[in-house]
């Protein structure tokens, strides 16, 4: 199938394969804190990013720039509960590191670029952030050199200026080089200014250890990072921060894996829980929206936990994410109507 017709899906196997791939001792899970970032002074804001703040507790949803059977939406039709809307996806070009975006006007029923841009402005006027997501499971974006890092930063910033995006989401599921992605994101931050919204959507295996390239990148850019919304689906079994193995589709899977990030160096405000909006939104790992709410309660307040209960609470946890606003709409908005008010009501 063409990439534009499927949600990014992990290729991680079940328990045995996952543990073999990890190859690490739990004693090394939480090594030293975030690596020292380059002390470059941020330059003046040149792009559209402003100082509009993402809410303390935020709901993130991916908006599909294609028709794969979910409800086709214009950006103006995205449910009001969503605080961050990630436009999926920007794609690689023939130049290393460079990305481009083309609105699928035909697939979206004649949605024009002018309407799209106007809808972005309207969402922003309503207090929402609209960002461009880069990658996806079949995305071929690679930032593996200094030149590619420069190309990435320049091209993303150009998209921000052209469409008015507030920032970027990193959803690279086929490898990531922490050195050069860090360089790219710091360069983008200098160009865009302090209002840049920077999110990430790693797979579960990408965040099992601070030695992983994705986790290292998140820590490297911690001072400019908005939130990491890990995908708790299409995963197989994974280790929790207590050293036990948990299977996807349970409250324990959400809380015990979030704990790794919370204890591994990210601030609670930089951690979100990503789940599918419906059973059709992913190949596996769907949980009812009520389970997402229980996981958030467990992490924020120590209530509604399963067998795993963290040793402390994280009331500042950012919130939750879903793939996608379109699948949510196709399912009667059950996800956003349930999780959204709960996120916004966290302490």
Please tell me whether residue 296 adopts helix, strand or coil conformation.
helix
CA distance 172 to 135: 5
Quote the pLDDT of residue 53: 85
Report, as residue numbers or ranges, the catalytic residues: 173
Quote the pLDDT of residue 10: 38
* pTM for this predicted structure: 0.88
Quote the pLDDT of residue 21: 39
Question: Comparing C-alpha atoms, which of 168, 207, 206, 195 is closest to residue 184?
Answer: 168
All structural domains of the chain with their residue ranges: 49-344
The tens-digit pLDDT sequence of the chain (347 residues) is: 233 334 444 333 334 344 433 433 333 443 333 333 333 333 333 334 444 689 999 999 999 999 999 999 999 999 999 999 999 999 999 999 999 999 999 999 999 999 999 999 999 999 999 999 998 766 689 999 999 999 999 999 999 999 999 999 999 978 899 999 999 999 999 999 999 999 999 999 999 999 999 999 999 999 999 999 999 999 999 999 999 999 999 999 999 999 999 999 999 999 999 999 999 999 999 999 999 999 999 999 999 999 999 999 999 999 999 999 999 999 999 999 999 999 999 99
What is the CATH number assigned to the segment(s) 49-344? Answer: 3.20.20.80
What value, to the nearest 5°, has the Cα angle with vertex 53 and ends 51 and 59?
145
Given a contact cutoff of 8 angstroms between Cβ atoms, the answer to whether 99 and 90 are in contact is: yes
CA distance 234 to 31: 27
Please tell me whether residue 249 adopts helix, strand or coil conformation.
coil
Quote the pLDDT of residue 139: 66
């Amino acid at each position: 199938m063409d990439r534009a017709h499927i949600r990014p899906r992990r290729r991680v196997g079940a328990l045995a394969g996952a543990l073999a791939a990890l190859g690490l001792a739990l004693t090394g899970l939480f090594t030293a804190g975030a690596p020292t970032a380059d002390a470059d002074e941020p330059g003046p804001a040149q792009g559209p990013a402003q100082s509009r703040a993402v809410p303390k507790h935020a709901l993130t949803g991916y908006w599909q720039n294609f028709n794969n059977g979910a409800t086709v939406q214009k950006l103006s039709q995205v449910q009001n509960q969503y605080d961050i809307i990630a436009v999926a996806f920007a794609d690689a070009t023939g130049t290393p590191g460079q990305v481009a975006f083309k609105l699928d006007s035909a697939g979206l029923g004649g949605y024009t670029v002018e309407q799209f841009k106007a809808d972005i402005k309207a969402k922003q006027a309503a207090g929402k952030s609209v960002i461009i997501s880069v990658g996806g499971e079949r995305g071929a974006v690679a930032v593996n050199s200094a030149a590619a890092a420069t190309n990435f930063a320049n091209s993303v910033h150009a998209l921000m200026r052209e469409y008015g995006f507030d920032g970027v989401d990193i959803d690279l599921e086929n490898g990531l080089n922490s050195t050069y992605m860090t360089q790219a994101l710091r360069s983008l931050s200098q160009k865009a200014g302090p209002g840049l919204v920077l999110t990430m959507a790693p797979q579960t295996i990408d965040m099992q250890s601070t030695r992983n390239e994705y986790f290292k990148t998140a820590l490297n850019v911690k001072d400019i990072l908005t939130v990491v919304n890990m995908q708790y689906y299409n995963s197989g079994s994974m280790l929790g921060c207590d050293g036990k193995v948990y299977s996807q589709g349970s409250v324990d899977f959400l809380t015990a894996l979030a704990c790794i990030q919370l204890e591994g160096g990210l601030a609670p405000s930089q951690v979100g829980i990503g789940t599918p909006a419906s059973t059709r939104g992913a190949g596996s790992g769907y949980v009812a929206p009520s389970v997402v709410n229980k996981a958030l309660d467990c992490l924020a307040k120590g209530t509604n936990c399963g067998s795993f209960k963290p040793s402390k609470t994280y009331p500042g946890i950012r919130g939750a994410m879903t793939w996608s606003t379109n699948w949510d709409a196709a399912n009667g908005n059950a996800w956003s109507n349930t999780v959204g008010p709960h996120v916004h009501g966290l302490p």
